Chains A and B, each alone.
Chain A
Amino acid sequence: MLDVKKIREDFPILKREVNGKPLVYLDNGATSQTPQQVIDVIVDYYSNYNANIHRGVHSLSQEATDKYEEARLKIQKHFNAKEAYEIILTSGTTESINLVAHGFASLLEKGDEIIVSALEHHSNIVPWQMLCEKTGAILKVIPMTLEGALDMDAYNSLLNPKTKLVFTNHISNALGTINPIDYIIKQARQVGAAVLIDGAQACPHLKPDVQALDVDFYVTSAHKMCGPTGVGMLYGKQEWLEKLPPYQGGGEMIATVSFEKTTYAGLPHKFEAGTPNICGGIAFGAAIDYMNAIGFDNIATYEHELLDYATSELLKIEGLKIFGTSKDKTSVISFNLEDIHPYDVGTLLDKMGIAVRTGHHCAQPIMTFYNIPGTVRASFAFYNTKNEVDALVAGVKKAKMMLS
């Protein structure tokens, strides 16, 4: 059981007001809030041991390096990667995906196929389109059903020996659908295709085990799971990371440099050119500690209660329609009120201190599928409460009254 009242004490931002009303923060899918325990780590870094890492012989540099590498070990342990050097620290999910896409440019040939799911965020569509333009590979799409789930029969029929890469998000940001990635990976194995999973929306809710999944690449961002913005990770199987060429040239990623030839550093440094987000990486480790202390089983159970309660309360509002009704979903509710524009609903909710996301959620193909301009999305975290769900329901009712 979660002591939510006590947990909320950890988040200073939850005490503030917006437009004269207590903040009801339901935009956790965009970014989670940061607990004092993580803020303290950030302050401690800049107050006590800010230094560049991996090269100084002085004590501060050593301390910072130790903490940074300690964070990498925490991340390794959390995701159960076999080796710490299979964890590449990046600026976030988008950079992680681009790093892999860039690497595959040298591995793909004309006519090779890449499979992407219809539930993707734009950051998971555009890099692959660019890759296809560059290499002559072909992009195939796993279609979605009306409930917002991926059509696995259609997926199986897309797989063939030309398939080189399959990528999908673990959980859809727009609808909250949990995709059957176990099955997707297993099927891709049959044709020898690599699989990349975008875990940005999954990692705040569950704890993926990359070895059990037998996934080739898994990516996420710290700011979705109580960490700071501007830092994230790429997990890659060692064999893949060795096969892929470096993404960016610069300091840190080299072994020796002369004007005739440069040899690259080993993993993970080959992919970590330049001074990294040192403080961010260390705080990412602290965020993982924080979430594990609460416990992902507790988080999942509690968030499900919130989801069920919010779903049933929202559906009592006449004319409200929820998009994404798959039985496997996380605490995300995407909805519209009749044909009222989501921008109008979101604007009025903001006036009432309620933060939701409105629009197409960087997933325009999904909105085109449903033929809507966008949705209002409420995404819940373990620090949200039933009272906040009630505030949302009351706010939506009021918005409906004003707009109808």
Chain B
Amino acid sequence: MQSIQEIQEDIIDEFSMFEDWEERYQYMIDLGKTLPLIDEQFKTEDNIIKGCQSKVWVHAEFNDNKIEFTADSDAIITKGIIAILIRVFSNQSPKAIMEANTDFIDEIGLKEHLSPTRANGLVSMIKQLKMYAIAYQTQVN
């Protein structure tokens, strides 16, 4: 199992191959279009994080000291970024998730999407992932 750090480095490597914004965004759009990110039954009001612009749904399951996240959005680019975040944070221990940061997003040129003014729900989503980690960690202790 790769660590969060290793996955982030992989993603930075992958993004370094794109020559311009178009390739970067086309990749995210394709990610957003192809991945089934959440089971329909979890797209509930309870699991919704309302951004001013796009909606995000997050669902978590905890097994063998690992949290599995699934998530979705009604906007494709937001969904593409979610796919990247899920790849980094899902199937990790609560402790690793609590300690992880999202600086790599800056390095792959997507920083603006995590700005609070963007109002796409992603900042709240990351907060929510960490909250799940804290909650499950407390449960383990």
Contact: A374 with B26, CB < 8 Å? no
Expressed in whole angstroms, the Cα–Cα distance for A344 and B54 within the complex equals 9
B-contact 0/1 string along A174-187, CB 8 Å cutoff? 00000000000000
A372, chain B: closest CB distance, angstroms: 11
B-contact 0/1 string along A332-375, CB 8 Å cutoff? 00000000111110011001000000111000000000000110
Would A341 and B21 be within 8 Å (CB), given that A373-B74, A403-B29 are in contact? no
Contacts of A19 in B (CB 8 A): 21
Would A341 and B54 be within 8 Å (CB), given that A347-B77, A403-B76 are in contact? yes
Contact: B75 with A341, CB < 8 Å? yes
Most buried by B among A347, A351, A374, A403: A347
Contact: B21 with A343, CB < 8 Å? no
Number of A-B contacts (CB under 8 A): 42
Q: B44 interface residue, CB < 8 Å from A?
A: no
Contacts of B21 in A (CB 8 A): 19, 351
Of all chain B residues, which has the CB nearest A339? B74
Q: B141 interface residue, CB < 8 Å from A?
A: no
Q: B70 interface residue, CB < 8 Å from A?
A: no
Q: B53 interface residue, CB < 8 Å from A?
A: yes
Expressed in whole angstroms, the Cα–Cα distance for A343 and B77 within the complex equals 8
Q: B91 interface residue, CB < 8 Å from A?
A: no
Contacts of A348 in B (CB 8 A): 25, 77
Q: A402 interface residue, CB < 8 Å from B?
A: yes
Expressed in whole angstroms, the Cα–Cα distance for A373 and B55 within the complex equals 9
Most buried by B among A340, A344, A351, A402: A344
> Number of B interface residues, CB 8 Å?
17
Contact: A344 with B26, CB < 8 Å? no
Expressed in whole angstroms, the Cα–Cα distance for A351 and B29 within the complex equals 14
A13, chain B: closest CB distance, angstroms: 19
Q: B92 interface residue, CB < 8 Å from A?
A: no
Contacts of A343 in B (CB 8 A): 53-54, 75, 77-78, 120
Expressed in whole angstroms, the Cα–Cα distance for A340 and B113 within the complex equals 18
Contacts of A341 in B (CB 8 A): 54, 74-76, 78
Expressed in whole angstroms, the Cα–Cα distance for A358 and B22 within the complex equals 20
B123, chain A: closest CB distance, angstroms: 14
B78, chain A: closest CB distance, angstroms: 7
Contacts of B76 in A (CB 8 A): 340-341, 344, 403
Contacts of B26 in A (CB 8 A): 402
Q: B52 interface residue, CB < 8 Å from A?
A: yes
B29 contacts which of A342, A359, A402 (Cβ < 8 Å)? A402
Interface residues of B (CB under 8 A from A): 21-22, 25-26, 29, 52-55, 74-78, 113, 119-120
Top 10 A-B residue pairs of the complex, sorted by shortest distance between their CB atoms: A341-B75, A343-B75, A343-B53, A343-B54, A359-B53, A344-B77, A351-B21, A344-B76, A344-B75, A347-B77
**Can you list 21 A-B contacts (CB < 8 A)?**
A19-B21, A341-B75, A343-B54, A343-B120, A344-B29, A344-B75, A344-B76, A344-B77, A344-B78, A347-B25, A347-B77, A348-B25, A348-B77, A358-B53, A359-B53, A373-B54, A373-B74, A374-B53, A402-B22, A403-B29, A403-B76
Interface residues of A (CB under 8 A from B): 19, 340-344, 347-348, 351, 358-360, 373-374, 402-403
